[in-house]
Structure formats: C-alpha cells, structure tokens
Amino acid sequence: MSEHFFDQAVALRPDGEHTFRGAAHPAWANMVGPFGGITAASALNGVLSHPQLLGAPIALTVNYAAALGPGDYRLAAVPARTNRSTQHWTMAMTQPGADGAEETVLTATAVTAARRDTWSLNDTAMPSAAPPQDCGRFNPFGVEWLKRYDMRVVQGAVPSTWDGGGTDSLTQMWMRDDPQRPLDFLSLAALADVFFPRVWLRRATRVPAGTVSITTYFHADAAMLARSGTGYLFGQARGQAFSNGFFDQTAQLWNEAGELLASSHQIVYYKE
C-alpha cells in the first residue's frame, strides 16, 4: 500500500541538530506554493520528530513570510526552553534565494506540554447540523490540494455567483482526509486551515487573499484523537473584522461526538 499523500507531504529528513529537510509535495499545490495547512503541519512535524520533545502540542503559531518554492526546504526546530511540564519551540523554514543565500519563508513557535488530568469542560457546544451523509460533497475546483479533503458544507459554501451580495462570513462544514486517515496532531493542524477566505463569502466577491499568520490551540490529547479516529470533524469559521487589507478568522473544530478538539485563529491578507 502506498503511503498516504499527507504522510508523504509532511515527511522530514534529519539534517543535523535541530534541523530537518523536506519539500513541498505536488499533491498539495495551491495557487502559489502548497496549501498553508500542510506547511504548518510540516513545521509542527519538526517539533514532534525532535528527539528532545516533551509532551504533546498545546499551541502552534505559523507565520507565512513567503511562498514555499519547489525543491528542498530547511526546517529548524529548536527547543528554546524546557520546563518541568512545558516546552517552548521556535521554528523557521528557509530556502535558497536568488543569490543562493538561505531566505526565511516561514517562522513559527509552538508550545508542547505533558498534560495532567484536571477538571475539564467542553464549554462550546457543537452547532446542530445535518449529518455529513446528508450534505453534498464539496466539488474541488481549481487547485490540487482541495482533492485531499472530503468536505461537506452545512452552511456558507463558496458563493456560486460573485454578485457582491454577501450577508455574513460563517461557514460550517464536515471534513476529513480523503482517503481517510486516523486523526493526529499534524492532520488536525492542517484541517484548521481548510476554510476558504472569509472575505469571499462576506462580499460574494473573489479577491486575492492569503493567510499571513495562523494560531491553533489543541484541546485534544492523544485519547481524544484516538476517539476521533477517521470520522468527520465539524468545522466552523467566521471573520470578525475586515480592515484595510487584513481580516481575521476564528474557527473551531469538533469531532463527531461533539468534543472541541481545537480552536484556531488566523489573519489573512486581502486585496481591494
């Protein structure tokens, strides 16, 4: 059986202390460079592959400084501080520029932690929705990476007519890897970034847009991931403000049982 496209794309080769090498995968191509979610997952994989890792991911912030080009990238993943139960990471992806010198294409930080059993509460109920089987599958268009997901929109699909008449920015959808793959921290990090630009929905106008920075908080631990398995996630995203070239997106991802696995936020560049 051939390896899943997801695992192929996030694969890293150790290349010295705190350093790995990887490459963008054509199966995840976006309009310019790969889908940002797979790049975020690759950066996180540097942390999770590191021999000094403590615990599991709690927080991940990824800043997209430039489009990832073809060919190898270099990923540095450095444990900047290790405490008794938490660990702070800085990451950077670089690629050779026109003059051959390494140039930064991505910066990132992560926090990992050894969780303890505490009082816990899922305090944001999953919205009620028709089951995924009753929702039409989103028909991938234009870019390759959309074929890597089975997405079933409940509300807030990509506008079918670009008539400038949008009313809100809320999308709700079921989603999972295609083909199915048991959920892990890497695929959860990628899934947090699958929503199309909120500005398209809010304005029913298609303008150039791209994520500048994304932060994902992981509420799931290994047991919650295992309970999620290959099931659908229910994802919700909305924008809060659109202001002179940048809008924000706040998102939540639940498993089918209604457990909030992750909350995610991003700031997105848009034109016009």
Q: Is 250 in the site for its own copies (CB under 8 A)?
A: yes
Nearest approach in angstroms of CB 263 to its own copies is: 5
| Closer to its own copies by Cβ: residue 30 or 61 | 61
| Closer to its own copies by Cβ: residue 152 or 203 | 203
Distance CA 124, CA 182 (A): 24
* Cα torsion through 149, 251, 30, 201, rounded to 10: 100
Nearest approach in angstroms of CB 35 to its own copies is: 20
Helix (H, G, I), strand (E, B) or coil at 38: helix
Distance CA 140, CA 146 (A): 5
For its own copies, what does the binding mask look like between residues 170 and 199, x meaning CB under 8 A?
------------------------------
Q: Is 162 in the site for its own copies (CB under 8 A)?
A: no
Distance CA 33, CA 95 (A): 13
Q: Is 52 in the site for its own copies (CB under 8 A)?
A: no
| Closer to its own copies by Cβ: residue 135 or 193 | 193
Residues counted in the chain = 272
Rule CB under 8 A: choose which of 1, 51, 117, 128 binds its own copies.
Answer: 117
Q: How many residues bind its own copies (CB under 8 A)?
A: 61
Distance CA 269, CA 272 (A): 10
Positions in 88-107 near its own copies (CB under 8 A): 88, 90, 92, 103-105, 107
Distance CA 109, CA 132 (A): 34
Nearest approach in angstroms of CB 238 to its own copies is: 8
Rule CB under 8 A: choose which of 8, 49, 122, 155 binds its own copies.
Answer: 122
Distance CA 170, CA 251 (A): 10
Q: Is 157 in the site for its own copies (CB under 8 A)?
A: no
**Pick from 41, 53, 47, 55: nearest CA to 90:** 47
Distance CA 41, CA 10 (A): 7
Distance CA 108, CA 78 (A): 11
Q: Are 188 and 181 in contact (CB under 8 A)?
A: no
Rule CB under 8 A: choose which of 101, 141, 142, 272 binds its own copies.
Answer: 272
Distance CA 142, CA 204 (A): 18
Per CB under 8 A, which region of 11-19, 132-140, 210-218, 228-236 contacts its own copies? 210-218
Q: Is 244 in the site for its own copies (CB under 8 A)?
A: yes
Q: Which residues bind its own copies (CB under 8 A)?
A: 58-59, 61, 63, 65-66, 80-81, 83, 86, 88, 90, 92, 103-105, 107-109, 111, 113, 115-124, 168-169, 202-203, 212-213, 215, 217, 219-221, 239-246, 248, 250, 252, 260, 263, 265, 267, 269-272
